[in-house]
A and B are shown apart, each in its own frame.
Chain A
Amino acid sequence: MYWGLIIGTGVVFGLGAVLLVQMGNPGNYGFCAACHLRDIAGALGIHSVATLQYVRPEILGFVLGSFALAKTSGEFRPRGGSNPLIRFVLGALMVIGALVFLGCPLRGILRLAGGDLNGITGLVGFAAGIVAGIAFLKRGYNLGRARVHAGAGNSAGYLAAAVAFILLVGVGTHAAFLRFSVQGPGSQHAPLIASLVAGLVAGAFAWRTRMCLSGGIRDFILVRDTYLLKIYGVLFLAALAGNLAFGTFKLGFVGQPLAHTMHLWNFLGLFLTGLAAVLAGGCPLRQLIMSGEGNTDAMFCVLGMLAGAGISHGFNAAGSAAGVAVNGQVAVLAGLVVAGAIGWSFREKTTAVTVGG
Protein backbone atom coordinates (compact mmCIF):
# COMPACT_ATOMS: atom_id res chain seq x y z
CA MET A 1 0.00 0.00 0.00
CA TYR A 2 2.74 2.43 1.03
CA TRP A 3 4.83 1.93 -2.09
CA GLY A 4 1.75 1.32 -4.23
CA LEU A 5 0.50 4.84 -3.59
CA ILE A 6 3.94 6.36 -4.09
CA ILE A 7 4.50 4.59 -7.39
CA GLY A 8 0.91 5.08 -8.53
CA THR A 9 0.98 8.80 -7.87
CA GLY A 10 4.38 9.28 -9.44
CA VAL A 11 3.53 7.30 -12.57
CA VAL A 12 0.13 8.94 -13.06
CA PHE A 13 1.64 12.42 -12.83
CA GLY A 14 4.93 11.69 -14.61
CA LEU A 15 3.92 9.35 -17.39
CA GLY A 16 0.46 10.93 -17.61
CA ALA A 17 2.04 14.32 -18.30
CA VAL A 18 4.20 12.91 -21.10
CA LEU A 19 1.21 11.16 -22.66
CA LEU A 20 -0.84 14.37 -22.54
CA VAL A 21 1.94 16.13 -24.46
CA GLN A 22 1.87 13.28 -27.00
CA MET A 23 -1.86 13.82 -27.36
CA GLY A 24 -1.62 17.53 -28.00
CA ASN A 25 -0.57 19.58 -24.96
CA PRO A 26 2.42 21.92 -25.50
CA GLY A 27 5.91 20.65 -24.60
CA ASN A 28 6.54 19.69 -20.95
CA TYR A 29 3.05 21.02 -20.31
CA GLY A 30 1.13 17.84 -19.46
CA PHE A 31 0.32 19.04 -15.98
CA CYS A 32 0.92 22.45 -14.48
CA ALA A 33 -1.20 23.86 -11.72
CA ALA A 34 -0.10 27.44 -12.36
CA CYS A 35 0.02 27.69 -16.16
CA HIS A 36 -3.08 25.58 -16.67
CA LEU A 37 -4.94 27.81 -14.25
CA ARG A 38 -3.53 30.79 -16.15
CA ASP A 39 -5.10 29.37 -19.33
CA ILE A 40 -8.40 29.05 -17.47
CA ALA A 41 -8.05 32.69 -16.35
CA GLY A 42 -7.65 33.54 -20.03
CA ALA A 43 -10.72 31.54 -21.02
CA LEU A 44 -12.72 33.44 -18.40
CA GLY A 45 -11.46 36.82 -19.62
CA ILE A 46 -9.41 37.55 -16.48
CA HIS A 47 -6.52 38.32 -18.83
CA SER A 48 -6.70 38.94 -22.54
CA VAL A 49 -3.69 37.21 -24.05
CA ALA A 50 -5.33 35.59 -27.06
CA THR A 51 -2.92 32.64 -27.19
CA LEU A 52 -3.46 31.55 -23.58
CA GLN A 53 -7.15 30.81 -23.38
CA TYR A 54 -8.44 27.31 -22.71
CA VAL A 55 -10.28 25.74 -19.79
CA ARG A 56 -7.77 22.97 -19.09
CA PRO A 57 -9.76 19.89 -18.08
CA GLU A 58 -6.72 18.61 -16.16
CA ILE A 59 -7.35 21.29 -13.52
CA LEU A 60 -11.07 20.54 -13.40
CA GLY A 61 -10.13 16.89 -12.97
CA PHE A 62 -7.88 17.68 -10.00
CA VAL A 63 -10.76 19.40 -8.23
CA LEU A 64 -13.43 16.86 -9.19
CA GLY A 65 -11.20 13.83 -8.50
CA SER A 66 -10.39 15.13 -5.06
CA PHE A 67 -14.05 15.99 -4.44
CA ALA A 68 -15.28 12.55 -5.53
CA LEU A 69 -12.83 10.66 -3.37
CA ALA A 70 -13.27 12.91 -0.33
CA LYS A 71 -17.03 12.59 -0.66
CA THR A 72 -17.15 8.82 -1.08
CA SER A 73 -14.71 8.20 1.76
CA GLY A 74 -16.63 10.41 4.16
CA GLU A 75 -13.75 12.86 4.48
CA PHE A 76 -15.51 15.73 2.74
CA ARG A 77 -15.57 18.30 5.52
CA PRO A 78 -16.27 21.89 4.46
CA ARG A 79 -14.07 24.13 6.54
CA GLY A 80 -12.35 27.50 6.41
CA GLY A 81 -12.14 30.89 8.00
CA SER A 82 -8.40 31.08 8.51
CA ASN A 83 -7.57 34.50 7.08
CA PRO A 84 -9.06 34.02 3.61
CA LEU A 85 -7.92 37.42 2.31
CA ILE A 86 -4.29 36.69 3.15
CA ARG A 87 -4.66 33.31 1.44
CA PHE A 88 -5.99 35.12 -1.63
CA VAL A 89 -2.90 37.34 -1.67
CA LEU A 90 -0.58 34.34 -1.17
CA GLY A 91 -2.31 32.54 -4.05
CA ALA A 92 -1.69 35.52 -6.30
CA LEU A 93 1.97 35.64 -5.24
CA MET A 94 2.45 31.92 -5.90
CA VAL A 95 1.24 32.30 -9.47
CA ILE A 96 3.06 35.58 -10.16
CA GLY A 97 6.29 33.81 -9.19
CA ALA A 98 5.43 30.65 -11.09
CA LEU A 99 4.59 32.56 -14.28
CA VAL A 100 7.98 34.28 -14.18
CA PHE A 101 9.60 30.82 -14.11
CA LEU A 102 6.92 29.54 -16.49
CA GLY A 103 5.56 26.72 -14.42
CA CYS A 104 4.58 25.63 -10.96
CA PRO A 105 7.08 23.35 -9.18
CA LEU A 106 5.25 20.32 -10.62
CA ARG A 107 6.02 21.57 -14.11
CA GLY A 108 9.53 22.31 -12.85
CA ILE A 109 10.05 18.57 -12.30
CA LEU A 110 8.37 17.75 -15.62
CA ARG A 111 10.59 20.27 -17.43
CA LEU A 112 13.69 18.74 -15.90
CA ALA A 113 12.49 15.29 -16.93
CA GLY A 114 12.24 16.62 -20.47
CA GLY A 115 15.89 17.68 -20.29
CA ASP A 116 15.19 21.36 -19.60
CA LEU A 117 17.99 22.26 -17.19
CA ASN A 118 16.31 25.54 -16.28
CA GLY A 119 14.12 23.29 -14.16
CA ILE A 120 17.07 22.83 -11.80
CA THR A 121 17.48 26.59 -11.30
CA GLY A 122 13.79 26.97 -10.63
CA LEU A 123 13.52 24.01 -8.27
CA VAL A 124 16.58 25.10 -6.28
CA GLY A 125 14.92 28.51 -5.95
CA PHE A 126 11.70 26.78 -4.87
CA ALA A 127 13.50 24.82 -2.15
CA ALA A 128 15.26 28.00 -0.99
CA GLY A 129 11.89 29.75 -0.78
CA ILE A 130 10.61 26.89 1.37
CA VAL A 131 13.59 27.27 3.70
CA ALA A 132 12.74 30.96 4.01
CA GLY A 133 9.11 30.07 4.72
CA ILE A 134 10.15 27.60 7.42
CA ALA A 135 12.09 30.38 9.13
CA PHE A 136 8.78 32.24 9.47
CA LEU A 137 7.01 29.08 10.68
CA LYS A 138 9.64 28.66 13.38
CA ARG A 139 9.11 32.23 14.52
CA GLY A 140 5.44 31.56 15.10
CA TYR A 141 3.83 32.32 11.74
CA ASN A 142 0.26 31.05 11.71
CA LEU A 143 -2.84 32.22 9.87
CA GLY A 144 -5.12 30.86 12.54
CA ARG A 145 -7.28 27.80 12.74
CA ALA A 146 -9.93 26.92 10.22
CA ARG A 147 -13.34 25.91 11.48
CA VAL A 148 -15.67 23.26 10.16
CA HIS A 149 -18.54 25.00 8.41
CA ALA A 150 -21.81 24.11 10.08
CA GLY A 151 -25.36 24.45 8.82
CA ALA A 152 -25.90 26.53 5.70
CA GLY A 153 -22.19 27.35 5.52
CA ASN A 154 -21.67 23.70 4.73
CA SER A 155 -22.85 24.21 1.14
CA ALA A 156 -19.91 26.57 0.53
CA GLY A 157 -17.70 23.50 0.53
CA TYR A 158 -19.30 22.35 -2.71
CA LEU A 159 -18.54 25.57 -4.60
CA ALA A 160 -15.22 24.53 -6.10
CA ALA A 161 -16.59 21.23 -7.38
CA ALA A 162 -19.72 22.95 -8.69
CA VAL A 163 -17.73 25.58 -10.57
CA ALA A 164 -15.39 22.91 -11.95
CA PHE A 165 -18.41 20.97 -13.18
CA ILE A 166 -19.95 24.04 -14.85
CA LEU A 167 -16.64 24.83 -16.54
CA LEU A 168 -16.38 21.23 -17.67
CA VAL A 169 -19.80 21.45 -19.33
CA GLY A 170 -18.72 24.78 -20.79
CA VAL A 171 -15.52 23.47 -22.32
CA GLY A 172 -17.25 20.28 -23.48
CA THR A 173 -19.96 22.23 -25.32
CA HIS A 174 -17.64 25.00 -26.50
CA ALA A 175 -19.90 27.42 -24.64
CA ALA A 176 -20.03 31.06 -25.67
CA PHE A 177 -19.16 32.32 -22.19
CA LEU A 178 -15.66 30.91 -22.52
CA ARG A 179 -12.81 32.00 -24.77
CA PHE A 180 -10.85 29.50 -26.81
CA SER A 181 -7.44 30.28 -28.32
CA VAL A 182 -7.22 29.59 -32.03
CA GLN A 183 -3.43 29.70 -32.06
CA GLY A 184 -0.51 29.46 -29.63
CA PRO A 185 -0.22 27.27 -26.53
CA GLY A 186 -3.88 27.74 -25.60
CA SER A 187 -4.95 26.10 -28.84
CA GLN A 188 -2.75 23.05 -28.21
CA HIS A 189 -4.37 20.47 -26.04
CA ALA A 190 -5.04 16.79 -25.70
CA PRO A 191 -8.58 15.56 -26.38
CA LEU A 192 -10.92 16.71 -23.62
CA ILE A 193 -11.70 13.23 -22.36
CA ALA A 194 -8.01 12.31 -22.07
CA SER A 195 -7.20 15.52 -20.19
CA LEU A 196 -10.16 15.05 -17.90
CA VAL A 197 -9.45 11.40 -17.08
CA ALA A 198 -5.78 12.20 -16.45
CA GLY A 199 -6.77 15.04 -14.16
CA LEU A 200 -9.35 12.96 -12.31
CA VAL A 201 -6.98 10.07 -11.65
CA ALA A 202 -4.13 12.39 -10.73
CA GLY A 203 -6.44 14.41 -8.50
CA ALA A 204 -7.61 11.27 -6.72
CA PHE A 205 -4.03 10.10 -6.09
CA ALA A 206 -2.98 13.59 -5.01
CA TRP A 207 -5.88 13.71 -2.58
CA ARG A 208 -5.04 10.33 -1.13
CA THR A 209 -1.32 10.99 -0.69
CA ARG A 210 -1.68 14.70 0.21
CA MET A 211 0.76 15.29 -2.62
CA CYS A 212 2.19 18.75 -2.22
CA LEU A 213 5.33 20.05 -3.84
CA SER A 214 6.13 22.45 -1.02
CA GLY A 215 4.85 20.19 1.79
CA GLY A 216 7.23 17.37 0.87
CA ILE A 217 10.31 19.55 1.02
CA ARG A 218 9.03 21.30 4.15
CA ASP A 219 8.36 18.05 6.00
CA PHE A 220 11.73 16.66 4.97
CA ILE A 221 13.51 19.70 6.34
CA LEU A 222 11.43 19.79 9.53
CA VAL A 223 11.08 16.12 10.45
CA ARG A 224 12.99 14.15 7.76
CA ASP A 225 9.74 12.76 6.34
CA THR A 226 10.55 11.36 2.87
CA TYR A 227 7.11 10.15 1.73
CA LEU A 228 6.36 12.94 -0.72
CA LEU A 229 9.98 13.18 -1.86
CA LYS A 230 9.72 9.55 -3.00
CA ILE A 231 6.69 10.53 -5.10
CA TYR A 232 8.67 13.35 -6.72
CA GLY A 233 11.41 10.84 -7.50
CA VAL A 234 9.06 8.34 -9.14
CA LEU A 235 7.31 11.18 -10.97
CA PHE A 236 10.61 12.42 -12.36
CA LEU A 237 11.75 8.94 -13.43
CA ALA A 238 8.38 8.12 -15.02
CA ALA A 239 8.37 11.37 -17.00
CA LEU A 240 12.02 10.89 -17.94
CA ALA A 241 11.35 7.35 -19.18
CA GLY A 242 8.34 8.57 -21.13
CA ASN A 243 10.27 11.44 -22.72
CA LEU A 244 13.12 9.11 -23.69
CA ALA A 245 10.69 6.59 -25.16
CA PHE A 246 8.83 9.20 -27.21
CA GLY A 247 11.95 11.10 -28.23
CA THR A 248 10.86 14.27 -26.46
CA PHE A 249 13.92 14.40 -24.21
CA LYS A 250 16.21 17.28 -25.14
CA LEU A 251 19.03 18.15 -22.76
CA GLY A 252 20.08 21.77 -22.31
CA PHE A 253 19.15 25.25 -21.18
CA VAL A 254 18.44 26.83 -24.55
CA GLY A 255 15.47 26.37 -26.88
CA GLN A 256 13.28 24.49 -24.41
CA PRO A 257 9.50 24.61 -24.82
CA LEU A 258 7.76 27.44 -22.93
CA ALA A 259 10.94 28.38 -21.05
CA HIS A 260 13.62 31.05 -20.84
CA THR A 261 17.21 31.07 -19.59
CA MET A 262 17.28 34.07 -17.24
CA HIS A 263 18.65 32.04 -14.34
CA LEU A 264 18.26 34.67 -11.64
CA TRP A 265 14.58 35.11 -12.44
CA ASN A 266 13.92 31.41 -12.77
CA PHE A 267 15.41 31.06 -9.30
CA LEU A 268 13.62 34.03 -7.74
CA GLY A 269 10.31 33.27 -9.47
CA LEU A 270 9.98 29.85 -7.86
CA PHE A 271 11.60 31.19 -4.67
CA LEU A 272 8.56 33.44 -4.36
CA THR A 273 6.26 30.51 -5.14
CA GLY A 274 7.95 28.33 -2.49
CA LEU A 275 7.82 31.01 0.18
CA ALA A 276 4.18 31.85 -0.51
CA ALA A 277 3.28 28.14 -0.68
CA VAL A 278 4.70 27.45 2.77
CA LEU A 279 2.86 30.46 4.17
CA ALA A 280 -0.37 29.32 2.49
CA GLY A 281 0.09 25.72 3.65
CA GLY A 282 0.33 24.16 0.20
CA CYS A 283 1.60 24.52 -3.36
CA PRO A 284 -0.73 25.49 -6.24
CA LEU A 285 -1.60 21.83 -6.91
CA ARG A 286 -2.38 21.18 -3.27
CA GLN A 287 -4.65 24.22 -3.11
CA LEU A 288 -6.71 22.82 -5.98
CA ILE A 289 -6.98 19.45 -4.27
CA MET A 290 -8.00 21.01 -0.95
CA SER A 291 -10.59 23.13 -2.76
CA GLY A 292 -12.16 19.94 -4.05
CA GLU A 293 -12.42 18.49 -0.56
CA GLY A 294 -14.36 21.50 0.66
CA ASN A 295 -11.67 23.76 2.09
CA THR A 296 -12.96 27.28 1.48
CA ASP A 297 -9.61 28.82 2.49
CA ALA A 298 -8.00 26.91 -0.36
CA MET A 299 -10.76 28.18 -2.65
CA PHE A 300 -9.80 31.75 -1.76
CA CYS A 301 -6.22 30.83 -2.51
CA VAL A 302 -7.25 29.47 -5.94
CA LEU A 303 -9.21 32.67 -6.62
CA GLY A 304 -6.02 34.53 -5.73
CA MET A 305 -4.12 32.29 -8.16
CA LEU A 306 -6.56 33.27 -10.93
CA ALA A 307 -6.14 36.92 -9.98
CA GLY A 308 -2.36 36.46 -9.97
CA ALA A 309 -2.57 35.17 -13.54
CA GLY A 310 -4.60 38.28 -14.40
CA ILE A 311 -2.01 40.54 -12.77
CA SER A 312 0.91 38.76 -14.46
CA HIS A 313 -0.52 39.02 -17.95
CA GLY A 314 -2.38 42.29 -17.46
CA PHE A 315 0.85 44.04 -16.48
CA ASN A 316 3.11 42.07 -18.79
CA ALA A 317 4.88 40.62 -15.77
CA ALA A 318 4.92 36.97 -16.88
CA GLY A 319 8.01 35.39 -18.36
CA SER A 320 8.08 34.26 -21.97
CA ALA A 321 10.51 32.50 -24.27
CA ALA A 322 12.19 35.91 -24.64
CA GLY A 323 12.80 36.13 -20.90
CA VAL A 324 11.45 38.22 -18.05
CA ALA A 325 10.70 41.88 -18.75
CA VAL A 326 11.34 44.58 -16.15
CA ASN A 327 7.70 44.41 -15.07
CA GLY A 328 8.12 40.75 -14.15
CA GLN A 329 11.29 41.48 -12.21
CA VAL A 330 9.56 44.25 -10.29
CA ALA A 331 6.57 41.99 -9.66
CA VAL A 332 8.76 39.23 -8.17
CA LEU A 333 10.67 41.63 -5.94
CA ALA A 334 7.47 43.32 -4.80
CA GLY A 335 5.95 39.87 -4.22
CA LEU A 336 8.89 38.89 -2.02
CA VAL A 337 8.41 42.03 0.06
CA VAL A 338 4.69 41.32 0.46
CA ALA A 339 5.25 37.64 1.31
CA GLY A 340 7.96 38.61 3.80
CA ALA A 341 5.65 41.16 5.40
CA ILE A 342 2.89 38.56 5.72
CA GLY A 343 5.31 36.04 7.21
CA TRP A 344 6.57 38.59 9.69
CA SER A 345 3.21 40.06 10.67
CA PHE A 346 1.25 36.90 11.33
CA ARG A 347 3.22 35.63 14.27
CA GLU A 348 1.36 34.41 17.28
CA LYS A 349 2.54 35.38 20.69
CA THR A 350 3.25 32.65 23.17
CA THR A 351 1.14 32.75 26.24
CA ALA A 352 3.18 31.09 28.92
CA VAL A 353 0.82 29.81 31.56
CA THR A 354 2.20 29.53 35.03
CA VAL A 355 0.54 26.86 37.01
CA GLY A 356 0.01 27.30 40.70
CA GLY A 357 1.14 30.92 40.59
Chain B
Amino acid sequence: MREEFWVITFPSIFHALRGEKLLAASRIPAKLIAVPRELTGSCEGLAARLEGEEVARAVAVLRENGVQMVKEGVKITR
Protein backbone atom coordinates (compact mmCIF):
# COMPACT_ATOMS: atom_id res chain seq x y z
CA MET B 1 0.00 0.00 0.00
CA ARG B 2 1.32 3.43 -0.89
CA GLU B 3 1.92 5.82 1.93
CA GLU B 4 1.83 9.56 1.48
CA PHE B 5 2.73 12.30 3.91
CA TRP B 6 4.42 15.68 4.11
CA VAL B 7 7.48 16.72 6.05
CA ILE B 8 9.06 19.94 7.20
CA THR B 9 12.78 19.70 7.93
CA PHE B 10 14.89 21.81 10.27
CA PRO B 11 18.53 22.90 10.41
CA SER B 12 18.97 21.51 13.92
CA ILE B 13 17.38 19.32 16.57
CA PHE B 14 16.78 22.43 18.63
CA HIS B 15 14.56 23.96 15.97
CA ALA B 16 12.79 20.66 15.42
CA LEU B 17 11.95 20.28 19.10
CA ARG B 18 10.81 23.89 19.32
CA GLY B 19 8.73 23.39 16.21
CA GLU B 20 7.09 20.31 17.70
CA LYS B 21 6.08 22.25 20.80
CA LEU B 22 4.68 25.16 18.80
CA LEU B 23 2.69 22.89 16.49
CA ALA B 24 1.24 21.05 19.47
CA ALA B 25 0.27 24.36 21.06
CA SER B 26 -1.46 25.34 17.81
CA ARG B 27 -3.22 21.96 17.71
CA ILE B 28 -1.66 20.99 14.41
CA PRO B 29 -1.11 17.23 14.41
CA ALA B 30 2.57 16.61 13.70
CA LYS B 31 5.04 13.93 14.69
CA LEU B 32 8.82 14.22 14.75
CA ILE B 33 10.62 11.54 12.74
CA ALA B 34 14.16 10.98 11.51
CA VAL B 35 14.59 12.83 8.20
CA PRO B 36 13.29 10.43 5.50
CA ARG B 37 15.96 8.64 3.48
CA GLU B 38 14.39 10.06 0.30
CA LEU B 39 15.36 13.59 1.25
CA THR B 40 18.90 13.36 2.45
CA GLY B 41 21.74 11.02 3.14
CA SER B 42 22.54 12.96 6.25
CA CYS B 43 21.30 11.58 9.55
CA GLU B 44 21.79 14.74 11.56
CA GLY B 45 18.27 16.02 11.49
CA LEU B 46 14.71 15.47 12.52
CA ALA B 47 11.64 16.27 10.49
CA ALA B 48 8.03 17.00 11.37
CA ARG B 49 5.59 14.65 9.67
CA LEU B 50 2.22 16.11 8.76
CA GLU B 51 -0.85 15.51 6.69
CA GLY B 52 -1.04 17.56 3.51
CA GLU B 53 -3.83 19.93 4.47
CA GLU B 54 -1.94 21.11 7.56
CA VAL B 55 1.35 22.05 5.88
CA ALA B 56 0.64 25.66 4.98
CA ARG B 57 -0.73 26.46 8.44
CA ALA B 58 2.19 24.69 10.14
CA VAL B 59 4.79 26.57 8.10
CA ALA B 60 3.06 29.85 8.92
CA VAL B 61 3.04 29.10 12.66
CA LEU B 62 6.69 28.09 12.65
CA ARG B 63 7.76 31.10 10.63
CA GLU B 64 5.89 33.47 12.91
CA ASN B 65 7.76 32.10 15.87
CA GLY B 66 11.20 32.26 14.34
CA VAL B 67 11.70 28.51 13.90
CA GLN B 68 14.18 27.97 11.08
CA MET B 69 13.23 25.43 8.44
CA VAL B 70 15.20 23.82 5.65
CA LYS B 71 12.37 22.35 3.62
CA GLU B 72 9.02 24.00 4.16
CA GLY B 73 6.83 21.08 3.26
CA VAL B 74 7.84 18.25 0.94
CA LYS B 75 5.58 15.42 -0.13
CA ILE B 76 6.98 11.93 0.51
CA THR B 77 5.45 9.00 -1.31
CA ARG B 78 6.62 5.47 -0.57
* Contacts from A to B (Cβ < 8 Å): 70, 75, 77, 134, 137-142, 145, 207, 210, 212, 215, 219, 222-223, 225, 227, 281-282, 286, 290, 293, 295, 347-348, 350-353, 355
Contact = CB atoms under 8 A, between A and B. Distances in A.
B12 A350 contact: no
A290 B34 contact: no
B4 to A, nearest CB: 17
B20 to A, nearest CB: 9
A350 B11 contact: no
Give 4 nearest A-B pairs by CB, closest first. Answer: A142-B12, A281-B44, A137-B13, A140-B14
B14 A281 contact: no
B65 interface: yes
Interface string B29-42: 00111100100011
A222 B14 contact: no
B74 interface: no
Interface size class of B (residues with CB under 8 A): 20 to 34
A211 B14 CA distance: 22
B43 A138 contact: no
A75 B41 contact: yes
Contacts of B14: 137-142, 347-348
Contacts of B70: 145
Given A137-B13, A222-B32, A286 B41 contact: no
A227 B34 contact: yes
Nearest to A347: B14
A206 B64 CA distance: 38
Contacts of A281: 42-44
Given A134-B13, A140-B12, A142-B12, 6 more contacts: A138-B17, A212-B43, A223-B32, A281-B44, A295-B42, A355-B64
A138 B46 CA distance: 12
Interface string B10-34: 0111100110000000000001111
B18 A222 contact: no
Contacts of A142: 11-14
Contacts of A227: 34
A228 to B, nearest CB: 9
26 contacts: A75-B41, A137-B13, A137-B14, A140-B12, A141-B12, A142-B11, A142-B12, A142-B13, A210-B41, A210-B43, A215-B34, A215-B43, A219-B46, A222-B17, A222-B46, A223-B31, A223-B32, A223-B33, A227-B34, A282-B44, A290-B41, A293-B41, A348-B14, A350-B66, A353-B66, A355-B64
